Amino acid sequence: MPTPTIGVFALQGDVREHLRALETLGVTTLAVRRPSELEACDALVLPGGESTTMAKLARTFELLEPLRDRIKRGMPVFGTCAGMILLADRVEDGTADQETLGGLDITVRRNAFGRQVDSFEGELAMAGVEGPVHGVFIRAPWVEAVGPEVEVLARVEPDGDAGRIVAVRQGPLLATSFHPEVGGDTRIHQLFVDFVRATTTDEP
């Protein structure tokens, strides 16, 4: 079985935490800051951070269009928090100049759970992962609407919010509202790595 190279978008966000989680799972990792590094990757993680800043930096470093192209060509991508916003086709409460990479047929509400002081943690069930997952939500988005090809993997119900969608998958794209890189639980990263391994194994 080939060892895939999984990059982490490294211009802003929780880069080291994702690299550490992936390295424990036995894959080759790469911090991605330029198009040549992106081309060396079989898959990519878009970390938590600030979605508008990440998009602006991607454009400045000439990564925005290469990222969009790789996503269109089927590269597996895992987005967490801000990464989910970047993968969304539609964003509510975004800035006037909000840009995304797109690919996920979802509508995301930015900072939906509130400001930094409204951050919270909780246990949730996630399809494909055995046992409860500890979700860390920091200025997190939620998914307001999904297209017909999007699989809902997890929901959360904080403070009476009934069943807000916080994890989705569509084809090679996986996204969570929360930060699975926080703490030592690598099961969601393992879910992504298993998919990437299967994808690279199937390629001619």
Cβ–Cβ < 8 Å for 186, 25: yes
Which residue in 17, 18, 41, 179 is the catalytic one?
Answer: 179
Does residue 189 have an active-site annotation? no
Does residue 181 have an active-site annotation? yes
Q: Measure the CA–CA gap between 136 and 25, rounded to whole angstroms.
A: 21
Q: Measure the CA–CA gap between 144 and 104, rounded to whole angstroms.
A: 13
Which residue in 17, 41, 99, 181 is the catalytic one?
Answer: 181
CB within 8 Å of 104: residues ≥ 6 apart: 79, 84, 87, 88, 89, 150, 168, 170, 173, 175
**What's the DSSP call for residue 57?**
H
Side-chain half-sphere CA neighbours of 136 within 13 A: 9
Does residue 134 have an active-site annotation? no
Which residue in 81, 123, 130, 151 is the catalytic one?
Answer: 81
CA 62 distance to own-chain centroid: 20
Q: Measure the CA–CA gap between 72 and 69, rounded to whole angstroms.
A: 5
Which residues participate in catalysis according to the annotation?
81, 179, 181
